[in-house]
Structure formats: structure tokens, C-alpha cells
Amino acid sequence: MRAVFNKTLLEIAKKDPRIHMVLADIGYGEIEPFRDTFPERYYNVGVAEQNMTGVACGIAMEGNIAVTYSIANFPTLRCLEQIRNDVCYHNANVKIVIIGGGVSYGPLGMSHHSTEDISILRALPNMVVVVPCDNYEAEAATHAMIEYDGPLYYRCGYKGEKDIHSGPVDFKIGKAITVREGKDVTLMFAGPIGLNVLHAAEMLEKEGISCRVVSMHTIKPIDKDAIKDAAENTGGIITIEEHNLSGGLGGAVAEVVCDEGLSPKAFKRIALPDVNVALIGHQEWIREQFGMSAEGIAKQIKETLK
């Protein structure tokens, strides 16, 4: 997904001279085309993410679009104060892009597990939170990101993710995308974990359980209409995300359910538990340890619907 993001951003930048990239000593094979094409719009501030965010805010406040870019937690949690006080307070046109959401960098350990970012970033005023699930959404979300005027957090996958969609998608910020229809339960996911969700739905279909599968690619603003429709017209809502149980997609959906007075027949959040994910290993292996393989997700869905 990161390759698609970088390629798409470069193509957009060729037509929009406002776009600048600000990095903290990262890239290596992906961002060099942007650097070589637009050296005057490329800044590597070194391993100094707080400074990166401040520089980006200054660039944006001069009428430009600044894109900060790094891996996992580094462009978010390490410089959270600057995002809050500089970017969000001034409603600056800064796009915060992370590569490797969730446990994509599994072999690098807890420091590289981005598992609290959605809840923290969506709590910031003026911040939009976007979590594309595959290459098609990644490309469309990059266009939507640049078209949006204001702070936006883009949580990208890493590399080698398989596509969930079969072709280009109609991507609108705040508008969910239905991947497949179903009536017994609605499975709402965010990010590349959606492929496991789709496989789980296919397994359950063979057992007579019809699942609607929905990509909630925008956590903030969230699609209230999609949540209402799922609560009223299917047998319940189950959210799935590669993120801490607290405050992510599941929390956002639950807030809508409560605030709107909805009464789904069933409701469950499938996510990483509220622990420090200190496991080291391949991404799919870590998912399996927390019941988030396709089989693990299917099992939890069946238990919820009993």
C-alpha cells in the first residue's frame, strides 16, 4: 500500500505545486522519486519528528499542503503535542501519513506497533482520520486527502497487502463502502484486517450465516447512516480492527449506537485487548495470537450471534 500511496502522491504533486513532503529520515526506495522530481518541495529534517511537524505546519500556513511521512508511531505519538497545538489548533492543511498501521512491523516489537493511534488522533479537534484497507482505497484516499482542506491523518498499510476490492472504488470521506451484502450481521472493519474479515464472512456463508461486510475507511467523521442501517436492517453489528479495544473503530461505532438510540440485536468489538502488544513476529502470526485470523474472527462472530 505504501508504494501505491507514494506513486499516487507524486502524480498529484505534478499537477499541484502546493504539495510538499516533510520526512524524519525515512523512505529508502519509496520517496526518492518525489525527492528527485521536486527537490525544492522535499524536506528531510532528520530523526526529529517534533520538528518535522512544526516545519510542516509552517509550510501549510504559507498556503501549501504539507505531508508528513514516517513509520508506525513516529509521526503521531512522538510529536503529539505539536500535532495538537500547531496543526489542529491552527486548522493547518497538514496531512499526517503513517506507514505500517497496527502490527505491520511485527518483527520490530512494541515500539513499532501502532495500536493506539486511531483513538488518540480522532480525539483531536479538526482532525480527520482515514484508514484505507487495500491498494484501491489507498489510491482513492490519497486523492481525497489532498482535496480535503485541513488536518488529516492517513493510516496506511505496509507492503504486500492483497486487495479486498475488485476494482476502483467511490471513496468519499465519511462515507463507508459496502464490500458485500448480508442480512444476519454487519461486519464493520477498518484497514487491511478487512481481508481476514472478508474470508471469515465467506466461511460463515457456508454455514448459513449471511454477513454484510463494510469498510469503515473513515473513523472521523464516521458514517452514521451506515451504522443506523446496519442496526435496523441486519441482525447486529460487529466491528473488527487492528487497534487497541479502547477508543478505535469499535468505540466510534458504539458512540453512534448510543447517541442515536439504536438497538442492534447484537453488538461486539473485535480488536487487540487493552495491553501492551509486546509480541514479536510476523503480522499474521500476531493477529492469530489475539483471535484475529479469519478463523478466529469467524469463531467470535458465531459466538456473538448465538
Tell me, yes or no, if 49 is annotated catalytic: yes
User: All 3 cell numbers of residue 249?
Assistant: 473503530
* Same fold? 2-156, 177-305: yes
Q: Where are the domains of the chain?
A: 2-156, 177-305
75: left (phi over 0), alpha (psi -120 to 50) or beta: alpha
Let me know if domain 177-305 sits in CATH 3.90.550.10: no
CATH superfamily of 2-156: Thiamin diphosphate (ThDP)-binding fold, Pyr/PP domains (3.40.50.970)
Position 29 scores a pLDDT of 79
Report which residue type is found at 4. V
CA dihedral (113, 114, 120, 126) in degrees, to 10, reads 160
Query: Among all chains, which residue has been given the C-alpha cell 491552527?
Result: 90
User: Which listed residue (30, 32, 49, 205) is catalytic?
Assistant: 49
- Reduced to 3 states, what is the DSSP secondary structure of residue 297? helix
pLDDT in tens, the chain (306 residues): 999 999 999 999 999 999 999 999 886 778 999 999 999 999 999 999 999 999 999 999 999 999 999 999 999 999 999 999 999 999 999 999 999 999 999 999 999 999 999 999 999 999 999 999 999 999 999 999 999 999 999 999 998 899 999 999 999 999 999 999 999 999 999 999 999 999 999 999 999 999 999 999 999 999 999 999 999 999 999 999 999 999 999 999 999 999 999 999 999 999 999 999 999 999 999 999 999 999 999 999 999 998
